[in-house]
Amino acid sequence: TSCPPTGGPGAAAEEEVRRLCQGFMAPPVSGPQELWRRRRDMRGRMELLIMETQAEVCRALAALDRGAAFAVNTWERKEGGGGISCVLQDGHIFEKAGVNVSVVFGNLSAEAVQQMKSRKTLKDKDGKLPFCAMGVSSVIHPKNPHVPTVHFNYRYFEIEEADGTKQWWFGGGTDLTPTYLNKEDAVHFHKTLKEACDKHDPKLYPKYKKWCDDYFYIKHRGERRGIGGIFFDDLDSPSKEEVFQFVQSCAKAIVPCYIPIVKKHCHDPFTPEEKLWQQLRRGRYVEFNLVYDRGTKFGLATPGSRIESILMSLPLTARWEYMHTPPENSREAEILEVLRNPKDWVH
């Protein structure tokens, strides 16, 4: 898809969209012409942000894992919209790193409507709700057990109710899942996210840190999936512009909160026993994603979803052992203690 021609009153804006398009992993889902036309409304601005975030993260990962390349797939959804999946598999540093963008629209399925009605008051028309949803989501599983897994997702929703009124909201978050606890890394990760939140309101980080600890809870195990970060959903105040600016700050914090940790540990030596523990912890990751994760459930309930993209979050390898318990006072027991009793990493 070619970008719009330059010239005319909006030349500077056109040129900016053209420049951004050239840096993306693939042409944007809506097409550059449509993006330029929508550049002032939230759907256009959010699509630009998620495309930029995808490209920025992929470039940072590829620069670390030299010689490894992202497979880039663009896909279309016949009901409306599509997406771009970028996956690096079996690299030197990353076992599986996926960064997906999706921009989908149409009517929500009855199952998806029911899921949303558990959290919101929505007036559908004959069971139908026109919607638009877009987001960038990623899970990065490294090979070395001393490099943590990271997950992030930033998304925007619009729904048109039966009477024509539109509801909108943002959701998202960034969270870390280490196999072994490194307190310095935990502090760096949380402080970087706190700084992004504090630019907008000092109350945000403590609120969204707690939400993250509560959301990523594997109820049947009595453990969190990882050491948290931030998480929020259904965010529609104080204003659309202010929430967008906040989401933008969070997206810009992804590379600085995570990449330094990868650089620090990607060449750390590890034993077969440490690799085994990583595989067992990955099993927990799978359990959370398939049993509890809201995004996975919504994706599986949306007609025309790309299943490969939804299940991209699952690791390449994982393990389940019957009745596995780590020895007392071991490094394995140390991380379990933190997963059972979340800590404050910034005060």
Please name the residue ranges forming H helices in the chain. Answer: 11-23, 32-37, 42-64, 110-117, 183-198, 204-215, 240-252, 254-265, 272-291, 294-301, 307-310, 331-340
Token representation of residue 14: 């056109």
Q: Of the residues 146, 151, 190, 265, which is catalytic?
A: 151
Among 118, 114, 115, 84, which Cα is nearest to 98's?
A: 84
CA 30 – CA 319 distance, rounded (Å): 40
Q: Are 347 and 140 in contact (CB under 8 A)?
A: no
Q: State the virtual CA torsion across 295, 341, 226, 115 in degrees, nearest 10.
A: 0
121 Cβ contact partners less than 8 Å away, ≥ 6 residues apart: none
For residues 170 and 265, give the distance between their C-alpha atoms in angstroms, rounded to a whole number: 33
Residue 4: C-alpha distances to residues 12, 21, 31, 106, 181 (Å)? 12, 10, 10, 26, 49
Give DSSP secondary structure letters for 233-286.
EEE--S-HHHHHHHHHHHHHTHHHHHHHHHHHHTT----HHHHHHHHHHHHHHH
The closest alpha carbon to 26, from 70, 78, 79, belongs to 70
CA distance 186 to 344: 10
146 catalytic? Reply is: no
Q: Catalytic residue numbers? A: 151
